């Protein structure tokens, strides 16, 4: 992956078709500790419907389901989703769907919570408004988005786009998301040292105009 505007991101389908998920930089069997903290501290009032957006290896989706939520793992890559369906066929409370979040088939107001660990930060700047609108549409009113993305503190040449707290706040607040918490953290996976990241908790203060 390259961090520029030239579309240098992987072809996700051929990546998941050819490579073992365990060797991917974002592979982590454990639940993201920042999301785990949100769940464990009892900050989520309902055990509702969770979307793990850009689920890839699906480890995060499975861990969220184990904590009592009804989970959908979605990804643009068919190979990633077919693998997840096979590997996790016996896991209760979880389904997998092929879906492109920039042109999503998911219904309005479908989810109480969305977890995005590493999908938003691969989109080119021109695609971000579409992403934010789709998230707003499929998330219930007062639903929550948990977002993990690379931080401007991360100095590797390779990788996805980087965000400061100010930049990410501006992108979402323009669309009436409320930033509840935002912190500097790391992105768990197979890289050493772990990439520096932001973890942002947002609430959807819905008022979209439907035509
Ligand atoms: C950095 S990986 C993170 C995977 C997973 N969330 C995790 O934490 O292990 C980004 C994922 O986003 C998916 N993705 C990329 N563009 C997408 C899109 N437009 N819609 C849905 N998923 C997408 C990729 O296929 C990939 O699995």
Residues at CB less than 6 angstroms from ligand 1: 12, 26, 54-57, 59-60, 75-77, 80, 100-102, 117-119, 122
Give 183 Cα–ligand 1 centroid separation in angstroms.
22
Q: Which two tokens stand for residue 86?
A: 């096979």
Tell me, what DSSP letter sits at residue 68? Answer: T
pLDDT category at 207 given cuts 50, 70, 90 is low
Query: pLDDT tens digits for 70-111?
Result: 999 999 999 999 999 999 999 999 999 999 999 999 999 999
Q: What is the gyration radius of the CA atoms in the chain, in angstroms?
A: 16
Q: What is the pTM of this model?
A: 0.94
Domains observed in the chain: 12-204 (3.40.50.150)
pLDDT category at 45 given cuts 50, 70, 90 is confident
> To test the ligand 1 pocket, which listed residue (119, 161, 199) has its Cβ within 8 A of the most ligand atoms?
119
Q: Name the residue with the closest Cα to ligand 1, atom 8.
A: 117
pLDDT category at 208 given cuts 50, 70, 90 is low
Cis bond upstream, residue 173 (ω within 30): no
pLDDT at 6: 35
pLDDT at 7: 44
pLDDT at 8: 53
pLDDT higher than threshold 90 for residue 47: no
Give 94 Cα–ligand 1 centroid separation in angstroms.
17
Q: Which residue has the tokens 């520029």?
A: 4
Task: Give the number of other Cβ atoms within 10 Å of residue 208's Cβ.
Answer: 12
């Amino acid at each position: 992956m390259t961090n520029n505007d030239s579309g240098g991101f992987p072809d996700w389908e051929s990546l998941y078709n050819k490579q073992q998920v365990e060797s991917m930089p974002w592979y982590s069997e454990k639940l993201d500790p920042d999301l785990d903290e949100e769940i464990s501290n009892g900050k989520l009032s309902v055990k509702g419907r969770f979307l793990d957006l850009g689920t890839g290896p699906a480890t995060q989706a499975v861990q969220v389901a184990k904590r009592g939520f009804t989970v959908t793992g979605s990804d643009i890559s068919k190979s990633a989703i077919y693998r997840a369906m096979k590997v996790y066929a016996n896991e209760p409370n979880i389904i997998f769907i092929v879906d492109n979040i920039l042109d999503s088939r998911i219904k309005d107001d479908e989810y109480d919570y969305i977890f995005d660990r590493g999908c938003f930060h691969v989109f080119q700047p021109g695609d971000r408004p579409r992403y934010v609108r789709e998230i707003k549409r499929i998330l219930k009113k007062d639903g929550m988005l948990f977002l993990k993305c690379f931080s401007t503190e991360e100095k590797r040449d390779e990788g996805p786009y980087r965000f400061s707290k100010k930049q990410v706040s501006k992108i979402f607040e323009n669309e009436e998301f409320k930033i509840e918490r935002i912190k500097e953290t790391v992105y768990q996976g197979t890289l050493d040292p772990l990439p520096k990241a932001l973890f942002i908790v947002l609430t959807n203060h819905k008022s979209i105009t439907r035509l």
